[in-house]
Amino acid sequence: MTLQFNDETFRDDYSFHNSERAIKRFPFPFDKDSYMYVVNMEQHRGGPSDSIYEMRFDVDEHYVSEMRDRAMVLADDPLRCQSLPHMTLAGWDLLELIMVSKSEDYPDLFQLHRDGDKWHWINKPLGIDDHFTFMDETTLPYGPMEYITRQTQGDFCVLDQRDDNLWMDAGTITTQADWSLDFDIGMNFFEWHAPVPLAHEKGIFVRALKFLLNIQQGAPARRLNWTMTVNPLLDTSPENYHKWGIQKTSLTPENIGAKQHLRVELQTFFRLPRSNALVFPIRCYLCAFQDIVSVPKWGRRLHRVIRDLPEELATYKGFIDNRPMMLDYLSKFDDGQDTSNGIWPELDSEPPLKT
């Protein structure tokens, strides 16, 4: 189908919205009625038609507006995009991966013409038509990582691999769940995850690292992660927390359905061919509670997960104070009926809400 791009904002008047199509393809992150950390990795080799898993880099109705928001964040704070000097080659690897993937997966939106190292890139939604020389930074307006990530939804961590560890040595991070690239750059896998509660003790990071170190070219992996955000704010950065934190207190029983968003990250992992770096895109999808509960299975399940979540996780994810109000709202959409396994909406087979 032809994509219609929304003209919307992720700040100030928050005109962000999901179409019916976007709600149905929202990556609901809970495959059962409870949640705890697990190493929930799987191969990233496509998925159901029109799902967010289908393409290597999903492009959706929010693309153009998200890229406009990223440009605003970077104009305000250039430190959100940084690359240590040894990571430039990985930046070229990433540029190639994204240009090749998008031009193959969305030929009506993106085109890449290559004649040796003379490349011609056309990005129709953003109105970009650039000729440049591959591996020659002087022929692009930004470094290669910044150039291509200004045109691709999701945050990008580019991880160097050495000493049996992964190092956060480059990235473009403007839609983050409250962590700072500027602070974490140069850290290893265990260090940048240090503030996460419970998962270290469960051995999650040791196993996840072992898995990631062994990701091969052409065999990307993926997982979902989630948190909560009041208002469809992409830039929930620690840098600006003193400005947006107050919004968490603006929920009322009347506005919670529209204001409270489940924030889901599709995290993917690709080995890069020349640098042997690992790129770790973190794609953020937002969905208002009132849109989630329009899917009966998701309404039932979200209530149960939030109700039973350990206190440490609700605190770490920043919604412990709002949990009682969330549960008051969500309980109206949980009639106690069983839910089917898996994340998909199952609109045809799940029973409607009993009233």
Partner 1 sequence: MSKFEFPPSIRSRPVYGTLEVRAGKHHLMIADAAGAEAILDVATPDLMAKTHIIYIPRGADFEDKLRALNPAQFYEGPSYAASVSRIQRVLQDASMGLQVYLTGTEGLMGQAQNEAMQAGIPHTAIQTEHRGSVARRMQCVHCKGITEDVETDPFVCSHCGLNLFVRDHYSRRLAAYQAVCIDAEDPGNVPAQKGIYATETEQ
The answer to whether 198 contacts partner 1 (rule: CB under 8 A) is no
Q: Give the 3-state DSSP-derived string for 44-102, with helices as H, strands as E and coil as C.
A: CCCCCCCCCCCCCCCCCCCHHHHHHHHHHHHHHCHHHEEECHHHHHHHHHHHHHHHHHH
Sign of the dihedral through C-alpha 139, 97, 68, 177 = negative
CB 264 within 8 A of CB 224: yes
Q: Give the list of residues 6+ apart from residue 35 with CB closer than 8 angstroms, or none.
A: 305, 308, 309, 313
Considering only residues 34, 130, 141, 190, which one is a binding residue for partner 1 as defined by CB under 8 A? 190
- What one-letter code names the amino acid at 320? I
Considering only residues 195, 203, 273, 342, which one is a binding residue for partner 1 as defined by CB under 8 A? 195
The answer to whether 245 contacts partner 1 (rule: CB under 8 A) is yes
The CA distance from 12 to 18, in Å, is 18
Sort residue 31 into left (φ over 0), alpha (ψ -120 to 50) or beta: alpha
Site string for partner 1, 61-90 (x = CB under 8 A): ------------------x-----------
Residue tagged 């004649």 (tokens): 115
Binding span for partner 1 by CB under 8 A among 1-9, 11-19, 217-225, 241-249: 241-249
Beta carbon of residue 190, minimum distance to partner 1 (angstroms, whole number): 5
The answer to whether 321 contacts partner 1 (rule: CB under 8 A) is yes
The answer to whether 225 contacts partner 1 (rule: CB under 8 A) is no
The answer to whether 160 contacts partner 1 (rule: CB under 8 A) is no
Closer to partner 1 by Cβ: residue 147 or 167: 167
Closer to partner 1 by Cβ: residue 240 or 276: 240
The answer to whether 354 contacts partner 1 (rule: CB under 8 A) is no
Residue tagged 């011609």 (tokens): 120
Considering only residues 61, 105, 182, 346, which one is a binding residue for partner 1 as defined by CB under 8 A? 182
Beta carbon of residue 310, minimum distance to partner 1 (angstroms, whole number): 16
CB 228 within 8 A of CB 318: yes
Binding span for partner 1 by CB under 8 A among 111-119, 123-131, 181-189, 268-276: 181-189
The answer to whether 187 contacts partner 1 (rule: CB under 8 A) is yes
Closer to partner 1 by Cβ: residue 207 or 243: 243
SS3 159: strand
Task: Give the phi and the psi of residue 24 in degrees, each rounded to 5.
Answer: -65, -30
Instruction: List active site positions.
Output: 223
Q: Which of residues 96-135 bind partner 1 (CB under 8 A)?
A: none
Task: Give the phi and the psi of residue 120 in degrees, each rounded to 5.
Answer: -130, 120
Beta carbon of residue 167, minimum distance to partner 1 (angstroms, whole number): 11
Q: Which residues bind partner 1 (CB under 8 A)?
A: 79, 180, 182-187, 190-195, 200, 238-246, 248-249, 321
